[in-house]
């Protein structure tokens, strides 16, 4: 069953053409990644999906709402970790008590046990991301939208978090759309990958990743994954060149 | 620990203040200046003690006017800032007026307000509100606007409406700004009340200063000044304390190291 289907989504910010017709689909229980250079328009695509901005194109979503994790963790510094985690449920109308009871058992699984009553400022970067992820998945929406959940982490923490997310996904089978510019992350986590061009973004390739999970187990798997990674990198670098217009140094 | 660091922070200011008093005392005593022109601090203190009943009697109305005016101003600032946040055109309509209100010279406006509203509490409340309202209003409006975009966007994606987002994100985001504005405006509050009393009142520090001056008692004028300064400092301290209490996560930021080495206990706010 198709959860989400986009046809020819376009978006301009004034004269700036950001999305030049994006078409993609995500099936039920599928983990799909969007891979693209910085400034391509990936976050803009999520803004279109969540309705924060309007664009042209056709979108069909079989569900009520996305659970959206923004690029920066967006934890509210004035709420304790547990109250950040319950935010989505509270907005859905659940009483604070009930929401806390629903969320509390998940803290251990997210590596946050004992930090329920901490302030976000007291968490490490990896913990913050896990808290943000917890806040996202407890909403029990029909689909997860994750915008570079590990982009701000150091390499070691990021690798650990990727493996952790893979385990979590194997247990829960969320339907998920992940934005990343980390090729390895995309190959490790996804069933399929959409590779975007630089701005204005269009899909240059759709790559299936038919590897069994868990993908970190054997050396043979790692080699296959590396081959796919190399292929994607070629596409990305090859696609970047002819289009690269007056660069305005967008590495944020 | 906390006491020691507080003392260490206050120490330089205390030394500077003590030095100033010392120089003043020496000038007054050795310079041969008449106490009816420049009384020594020791004399001010002694006279303040002697007239403590009258001083206290006049401090109370000033305090009442200050607090009542400030409370009104606080409520008005919150309500108006929220309205402005919801209806952007209102901001363009109101802000020029508010800025104009800040250009009014208090010396000119105070007697007029007393003329219009009499010698009671009302003109004092109005004048205190006039001088304290603007910094808080501006701070609140800017504070709402400082809400992290990804937070409002996320809330919207969760299905929260404008009002929900205001309560969940915009108003807490404004807290640090609000307290900055509060600290500024609270230092104007007592002065505003004194000005109002100066222009006309039955009792109060302002009228007390006026009559002391007319009786050639600069020592009592200065005693009243000292009382009003102490009032302002107290209010300022209370504002700082309120900020501490209202924003416990700010304290957590500074002592992050070490606090969560072991398991956090379950105490604190629900
Ligand atoms: N509200 C906006 N108004 C004008 N331009 C915008 C707006 N939002 C994004 N843009 C522009 O759209 C382009 C794409 O931005 P977007 O945030 O979608 O990039 P991204 O692919 O998510 O990049 P990154 O990987 O660095 O997060 C950028 O050039 C950005 O300047
Ligand atoms: Mg982005």
Residue that the structure tokens 């008692």 belong to: B217
> What chain B residue is nearest to A74 in terms of C-alpha separation?
B151
The pLDDT of A155-161, averaged and rounded, is: 85
Q: Chain B window 85-144: which residues touch A at a Cβ cutoff of 8 Å?
A: none
Say what the pLDDT of residue A217 is: 77
Tell me the residue ranges of DSSP E strands in chain B.
Answer: none
User: pLDDT tier at B2 (50, 70, 90 boundaries)?
Assistant: low
Interchain proximity A117–B259, CB inside 8 Å: no
Determine the Cα–Cα distance for residues B166 and A241; give it in Å rounded to an integer: 45
DSSP label of B197:
H
Give Cα B163 distance to the centre of its chain.
30
Which pLDDT score is estimated for A236?
84
Domains of chain A: 1-57+180-252 (3.40.50)
Centre of ligand 2 from the C-alpha of residue B140, in Å: 30
Measured from the Cβ of residue A110, the count of other Cβ atoms closer than 10 Å reads 22
A189-221 residue pLDDT tens? 999 999 998 888 889 989 898 888 888 777 888
Confidence of residue A239 (pLDDT cuts 50, 70, 90): low
Provide the percentage of residues in chain A whose pLDDT is more than 90: 40
CA distances for B165 relative to A139, B170, B243, angstroms: 17, 6, 22
Which of the four pLDDT bands, split at 50, 70 and 90, describes residue A244? very low
Give pLDDT, residue A234. Answer: 87
Residues in contact with ligand 1 by the CB-under-6-Å rule are A 13, 16, 18, 36, 38-44, 71, 181, 199, 252
Mean pLDDT calculated for residue range B12-16: 91
Q: Is B174 on the interface with A (CB under 8 A)?
A: no
Architecture of domain B39-248: Orthogonal Bundle (1.10)
Mutate which of B146, B148, B158, B257 to test chain A, going by most A C-beta atoms within 10 A?
A: B158
| Structure-token pair, residue A57 | 């194109």
State yes or no: pLDDT of B88 exceeds 90. Answer: no
pTM: 0.83
pLDDT in tens, B111-163: 898 899 988 889 999 999 999 999 999 999 999 999 999 999 999 999 899 99
Q: CB of B263 within 8 Å of any CB in chain A?
A: yes
Q: What is the pLDDT of residue B142?
A: 93
**Phi, then psi, of A160 in degrees rounded to 5:** -65, -40
Q: Which residues contact residue B204 at a Cβ distance below 8 angstroms, ignoring those fewer than 6 apart? A: B58, B61, B62, B65, B124, B193, B194, B197
CA of A42 to the centre of ligand 2 (A): 5
- Rounded mean pLDDT, A47-58: 89
> CA-CA distance, A116 to A103, in Å (whole number)?
10
Q: How far is A119 from chain B (nearest CA, A)?
A: 6
197-256 of B, contacting A, C-beta below 8 A: 247-249, 252-253, 256
Q: What is the pLDDT of residue B246?
A: 93
Q: Using alpha carbons only, give the angle B157, B160, B163 rounded to the nearest 5 degrees.
A: 140
Closest partner residue to B266 among A52, A74, A117, by Cβ? A117
pLDDT of residue B209: 93
Q: Which atom of ligand 1 is nearest to the CA of A196?
A: 21
Q: What is the mean pLDDT of chain A?
A: 87
Residue B260 has pLDDT above 60, yes or no: no
Mutation target for A interface from B154, B245, B267, B268: give the one with most A CBs within 10 A.
B154
- Contact with chain A for residue B161, Cβ under 8 A: no
Rounded CA Rg of chain B: 23
pLDDT category, B269, cuts 50, 70, 90? very low
């Amino acid at each position: 069953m198709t959860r989400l289907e986009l046809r020819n989504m376009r978006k301009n910010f004034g004269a700036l053409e950001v999305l030049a017709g994006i078409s993609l689909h995500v099936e039920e229980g599928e983990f799909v990644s969007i891979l693209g250079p910085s400034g391509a328009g990936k976050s803009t695509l999520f803004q279109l999906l969540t309705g924060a901005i309007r664009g042209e194109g056709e979108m069909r979503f079989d569900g009520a709402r996305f659970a959206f994790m923004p690029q920066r963790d967006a934890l509210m510094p004035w709420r304790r970790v547990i109250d950040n985690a319950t935010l989505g449920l509270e907005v859905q109308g659940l009483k604070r008590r009930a929401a806390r009871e629903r969320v509390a058992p998940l803290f251990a699984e997210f590596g946050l046990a004992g930090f329920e009553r901490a302030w976000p400022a007291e968490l490490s970067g990896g913990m913050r991301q896990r808290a943000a992820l917890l806040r996202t998945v407890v909403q029990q929406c029909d689909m997860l939208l994750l915008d570079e959940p590990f982009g701000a982490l150091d390499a070691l923490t990021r690798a650990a978090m990727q493996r952790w997310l893979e385990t979590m996904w194997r247990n829960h089978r969320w339907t998920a759309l992940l934005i990343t510019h980390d090729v390895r992350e995309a190959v490790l986590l996804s069933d399929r990958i959409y590779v975007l061009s630089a701005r204005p973004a269009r899909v240059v390739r759709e790559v299936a990743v038919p590897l069994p999970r868990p993908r970190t187990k054997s050396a043979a798997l790692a080699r296959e994954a590396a081959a796919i990674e190399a292929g994607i990198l070629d596409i990305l670098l090859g696609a970047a060149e002819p289009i690269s217009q007056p660069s305005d140094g967008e590495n944020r | 620990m906390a006491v020691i660091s507080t003392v260490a922070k206050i120490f330089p200011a205390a030394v500077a203040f003590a030095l100033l008093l010392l120089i003043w005392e020496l000038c007054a005593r050795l310079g041969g200046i008449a106490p009816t022109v420049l009384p020594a601090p020791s004399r001010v203190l002694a006279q303040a003690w002697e007239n403590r009943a009258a001083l206290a009697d006049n401090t109370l109305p000033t305090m009442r006017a200050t607090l009542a005016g400030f409370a009104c101003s606080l409520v008005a600032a919150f309500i108006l800032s929220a309205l402005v946040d919801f209806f952007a055109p209102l901001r363009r309509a109101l802000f020029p007026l508010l800025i104009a209100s800040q250009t009014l010279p208090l010396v000119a406006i105070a007697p007029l307000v007393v003329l219009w509203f009499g010698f009671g509490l009302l003109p004092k409340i109005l004048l205190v509100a006039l001088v304290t309202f603007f910094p808080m209003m501006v701070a609140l409006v800017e504070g709402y606007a400082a809400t992290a975009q990804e937070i409002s966007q996320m809330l919207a994606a969760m299905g929260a409406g404008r009002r929900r987002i205001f309560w969940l994100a915009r108003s807490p985001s404004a807290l640090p700004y609000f307290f900055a504005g509060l600290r500024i405006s609270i230092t104007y509050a007592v002065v505003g009340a004194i000005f109002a009393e100066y222009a006309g009142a039955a009792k109060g520090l302002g009228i007390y200063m006026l009559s002391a001056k007319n009786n050639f008692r600069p020592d009592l004028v200065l005693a009243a000044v000292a009382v009003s300064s102490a009032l302002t400092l107290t209010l300022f301290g209370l504002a700082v304390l309120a900020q501490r209490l209202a924003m416990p996560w700010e304290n957590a930021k500074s002592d992050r190291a070490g606090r969560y080495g072991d398991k956090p206990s379950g105490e604190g706010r629900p």
